[in-house]
Chains A and B, each alone.
Chain A
């Protein structure tokens, strides 16, 4: 029978390799969990939710990046709810915005995150993982929940940047996640011998690449301590010590290793390097290929709205500086339309990447207006309802028939692997007392966000305030006060002029 629930992955694997370690983390105390422990813990968490009457609703998971958090995610799904991972590195203001728009009845935290959780603007309950992870399994209730579960029920909600300053919660269901994991695994060739090194935070869908194939194949994931991403040689040594053979990382994590010269001292024993979320500078890319000539390199592309990644390109030729690595072609069962407004572009023309297929997520949680803006009827089909997702990314086909990313349509940028709306930075900054006008621009060459503003607040003071409001990756690397903002003849902020100023 066709799989309809992501939990079927762990249920099959726990029978095959119950005592194998599934996930391991090393920040602070080492924490490792076998498939049996992940399964039992998840069933306990699910039973706690079922007995407590939490059902078909989002549950906030505010835990450290450990196997315990992953087991809690699956436990939430056992309870028929969806998990919403948040992290202590998110600024409190962003967390409060998420809680305000979602109004969850329950937050699951742990002893080490409890103090922070209690400060949230939250009317619901807070429960400790330590208090619920050994809940006696109520298989009767769990079975009932399972009988009623269908594959279009949501399993998680993850938040991304929104231009109005309010983050958008993207909800995905069993079916789109299964579709993604199956096709991703096919192309990347995961199996029971795969040993992942996880880099992505759990509050992004990027971590699906490790979390789900691990339970599908009985593979292994080492959760790489965040601090190691500051120390390239130690990072490589760690990967080799844990016998990691597969990484699916943002480009900046890979370039940090090569740019700081670590590959010359020690080479990570990787068979597969998947990367994505931003352009790979060719100089750095070639250093990687030279160090690992036998490894497979795969570029991945895709918006969170279409569950994980949508397109892939396996590197099959040399690239020189100035070239860009294609995003290739869609995974099986996903279709890409390149549209100019409502018509297909002709060969070689630039168009907006629009995605159709099972991969589409359910849309933005509690936000029908913004959902309807980008999840729209396929304009090429007027005969029956069919949604496509308009990514806002512009691309074209090269002479080899490969899809190549060109640019963004709007002010959304990719910086350090994160999707950022410059408007969200401005929306937050404009709330600060003393700010008259503000404008954030992105210098792609230098990979720097620069914030210009007018008003009577000092640069240093504004930087401190911004640190309290914005996630680290959204913080401008430079903040400059101006006497007056450059304006276009129409009286709009002259972004082009400001961008030129960043190059000075």
Chain B
């Protein structure tokens, strides 16, 4: 979770990722960010997010993203 927040903080330092649950719906992150997030998670956590998981529900909050990463790690 900390690593996920660190990745997100680099993109938008001013957002409170502990509480925000509408990153996509409120257009805080955009397509540029999605590509960065997927690449950074691959680089730093060695988790590859498959295309079918790149959906708004998984990117709307830091927690959703962390849950996704945990789930993908378990599947490995």
Give A contacts to B, CB under 8 Å.
227, 229-234, 256, 259-262, 264-265, 416, 460, 463-464, 472-473, 477
For the complex, what is the distance from the CA of A463 to the CA of B14, rounded to whole Å? 9
Q: Tell yes or no: B76 within 8 A of A by CB.
A: no
Shortest beta-carbon distance, B34 to chain A, in Å?
Answer: 5
B29 to chain A: closest residue by CB:
A230
Shortest beta-carbon distance, B47 to chain A, in Å?
Answer: 13
For the complex, what is the distance from the CA of A231 to the CA of B54, rounded to whole Å? 6
Shortest beta-carbon distance, B74 to chain A, in Å?
Answer: 20
Cβ contacts under 8 Å, A416 to chain B: 32
Contacts A230-B54, A261-B50, A464-B13 aside, 20 further interface pairs with beta carbons under 8 A come to: A227-B24, A230-B24, A230-B29, A230-B30, A230-B34, A230-B59, A231-B55, A232-B54, A233-B54, A234-B55, A256-B35, A259-B35, A260-B35, A260-B38, A260-B54, A261-B51, A265-B52, A463-B13, A472-B30, A477-B36
B39 to chain A: closest residue by CB:
A259
Cβ contacts under 8 Å, B49 to chain A: 260
Some 13 contacts from A to B, beta carbons below 8 A apart, are: A230-B24, A230-B54, A231-B34, A232-B51, A256-B34, A260-B51, A260-B54, A265-B50, A265-B52, A460-B14, A463-B14, A472-B30, A477-B36
Q: Are B31 and A256 in contact (CB under 8 A)?
A: yes
For the complex, what is the distance from the CA of A460 to the CA of B29, rounded to whole Å? 17
For the complex, what is the distance from the CA of A10 to the CA of B56, rounded to whole Å? 38
Q: Are A229 and B31 in contact (CB under 8 A)?
A: yes
- What are the interface flags for B52-72 relative to A under an 8 Å C-beta threshold, 1 for contact and 0 otherwise? 101110010000000000000
- What are the interface flags for B2-44 relative to A under an 8 Å C-beta threshold, 1 for contact and 0 otherwise? 0000000000011000000000100001111011101000000
For the complex, what is the distance from the CA of A460 to the CA of B12, rounded to whole Å? 9
Cβ contacts under 8 Å, B35 to chain A: 256, 259-260
Q: Are A472 and B51 in contact (CB under 8 A)?
A: no
A265 to chain B: closest residue by CB:
B51
Shortest beta-carbon distance, B36 to chain A, in Å?
Answer: 8
Cβ contacts under 8 Å, B51 to chain A: 232-233, 260-262, 264-265
Shortest beta-carbon distance, A432 to chain B, in Å?
Answer: 16
Shortest beta-carbon distance, B11 to chain A, in Å?
Answer: 9
Shortest beta-carbon distance, A414 to chain B, in Å?
Answer: 15
Q: Are B52 and A472 in contact (CB under 8 A)?
A: no
B33 to chain A: closest residue by CB:
A230
Cβ contacts under 8 Å, B32 to chain A: 416, 472-473, 477
Q: 6 tightest A-B contacts by CB?
A: A262-B51, A261-B51, A230-B31, A460-B13, A229-B31, A233-B51
Cβ contacts under 8 Å, A229 to chain B: 31
Shortest beta-carbon distance, B30 to chain A, in Å?
Answer: 6
For the complex, what is the distance from the CA of A230 to the CA of B53, rounded to whole Å? 12
B59 to chain A: closest residue by CB:
A230
Shortest beta-carbon distance, A229 to chain B, in Å?
Answer: 4
- Which of A232, A265, A460 counts the most B-chain CB atoms under 10 A from its CB? A232
For the complex, what is the distance from the CA of A260 to the CA of B52, rounded to whole Å? 9
B53 to chain A: closest residue by CB:
A233
For the complex, what is the distance from the CA of A227 to the CA of B38, rounded to whole Å? 16
Q: Are B56 and A231 in contact (CB under 8 A)?
A: yes
Cβ contacts under 8 Å, B36 to chain A: 477
For the complex, what is the distance from the CA of A395 to the CA of B1, rounded to whole Å? 48
For the complex, what is the distance from the CA of A229 to the CA of B35, rounded to whole Å? 10
Cβ contacts under 8 Å, B59 to chain A: 230
Cβ contacts under 8 Å, A259 to chain B: 35
B36 to chain A: closest residue by CB:
A477
For the complex, what is the distance from the CA of A498 to the CA of B55, rounded to whole Å? 37
A259 to chain B: closest residue by CB:
B35
Cβ contacts under 8 Å, A231 to chain B: 34, 54-56
For the complex, what is the distance from the CA of A261 to the CA of B55, rounded to whole Å? 13
For the complex, what is the distance from the CA of A346 to the CA of B1, rounded to whole Å? 60
B50 to chain A: closest residue by CB:
A261
Shortest beta-carbon distance, A88 to chain B, in Å?
Answer: 11
For the complex, what is the distance from the CA of A473 to the CA of B32, rounded to whole Å? 9
B10 to chain A: closest residue by CB:
A478
For the complex, what is the distance from the CA of A232 to the CA of B24, rounded to whole Å? 14
Shortest beta-carbon distance, A47 to chain B, in Å?
Answer: 36
Shortest beta-carbon distance, A502 to chain B, in Å?
Answer: 15
Q: Are B31 and A464 in contact (CB under 8 A)?
A: no
For the complex, what is the distance from the CA of A477 to the CA of B55, rounded to whole Å? 23
Selected from A232, A260, A464, A472, the residue in CB contact (under 8 A) with B14 is A464
Shortest beta-carbon distance, A481 to chain B, in Å?
Answer: 13
Shortest beta-carbon distance, A199 to chain B, in Å?
Answer: 11
- Which of B13, B14, B49, B51 counts the most A-chain CB atoms under 10 A from its CB? B51
For the complex, what is the distance from the CA of A35 to the CA of B12, rounded to whole Å? 43
For the complex, what is the distance from the CA of A230 to the CA of B32, rounded to whole Å? 8
Shortest beta-carbon distance, A371 to chain B, in Å?
Answer: 33
Shortest beta-carbon distance, B75 to chain A, in Å?
Answer: 15
For the complex, what is the distance from the CA of A262 to the CA of B53, rounded to whole Å? 10
Shortest beta-carbon distance, A372 to chain B, in Å?
Answer: 36
Cβ contacts under 8 Å, A464 to chain B: 13-14
For the complex, what is the distance from the CA of A229 to the CA of B14, rounded to whole Å? 24
Shortest beta-carbon distance, B12 to chain A, in Å?
Answer: 8
Cβ contacts under 8 Å, A260 to chain B: 35, 38, 49, 51, 54
Shortest beta-carbon distance, B72 to chain A, in Å?
Answer: 13
Cβ contacts under 8 Å, A261 to chain B: 50-51
For the complex, what is the distance from the CA of A5 to the CA of B50, rounded to whole Å? 49
